[in-house]
């Protein structure tokens, strides 16, 4: 389904099938083969589970909730539930991807992007499953894809 959406939008991509992975460490050998490091994708929410965020950051960086929460002016963020992840982005833990925003037609999820990704030409994400990786131009994700979903990125600094 998501590959059809990319095709409809005329967004070129390379798809790399592989064994299922759950962690960034599992992706190390795959990154070497592909030549583009995976982005880390985190599904976050506020304590009340009324505000949802998808954080896209460089794979080797650590997430510090206090720093991102402060930049957004919100109380402490935590990881969102698998149920909300499925309901909003139609994916599961271990396969989180900005491509899931195609299913967020109510714009309940805000996209946060690590400012350091602004300089990357290519990005690698899961195509909503954890047994494949997808490489595409960052400019196509931020341009054609987000234009089609109606989401606007919020740039954040991840130390």
pLDDT number for residue 41 = 95
pLDDT tens for 82-126 read 999 999 999 999 899 999 999 999 999 999 999 999 999 999 999
**Token pair 């400012």 in the structure block, residue:** 115
Q: Is the pLDDT of residue 60 over 90?
A: no
pLDDT number for residue 42 = 97
Q: What is the pTM of this model?
A: 0.93
Least Cα distance to 16 among 138, 131, 116, 148 occurs for 131
Confidence of residue 75 (pLDDT cuts 50, 70, 90): confident
Domain ranges of the chain: 2-152
In CATH terms, the superfamily for domain 2-152 is YbaK/aminoacyl-tRNA synthetase-associated domain (3.90.960.10)
pLDDT number for residue 49 = 94
91, 128 in Cβ contact below 8 A?
Answer: yes
Rounded to an integer, what distance in angstroms lies between the CA atom of residue 43 and that of residue 51?
11
Torsion angle of alpha carbons 137, 36, 96, 25, nearest 10°? Answer: -170
pLDDT number for residue 105 = 96
pLDDT tens for 118-148 read 999 999 999 999 999 999 999 999 999 999 9
Query: Alpha carbon 100 to chain centroid distance?
Result: 8
């Amino acid at each position: 389904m998501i590959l059809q959406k990319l095709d409809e939008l005329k967004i070129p991509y390379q798809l790399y099938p592989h064994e299922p992975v759950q962690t960034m460490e599992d992706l190390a050998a795959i990154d070497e083969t592909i030549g583009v490091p995976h982005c880390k994708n985190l599904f976050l929410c506020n304590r009340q589970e009324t505000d949802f965020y998808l954080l896209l950051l460089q794979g080797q960086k650590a997430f510090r909730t206090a720093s991102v929460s402060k930049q957004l002016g919100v109380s402490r963020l935590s990881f969102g539930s698998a149920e909300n992840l499925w309901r909003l982005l139609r994916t599961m833990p271990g396969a989180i991807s900005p491509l899931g925003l195609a299913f967020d037609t109510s714009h309940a999820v805000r996209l946060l992007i690590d400012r350091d990704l602004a300089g990357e030409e290519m990005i690698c994400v899961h195509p909503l499953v954890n047994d494949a990786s997808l490489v595409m131009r960052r400019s196509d994700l931020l341009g054609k894809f987000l234009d089609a979903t109606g989401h606007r990125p919020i740039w954040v600094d991840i130390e």
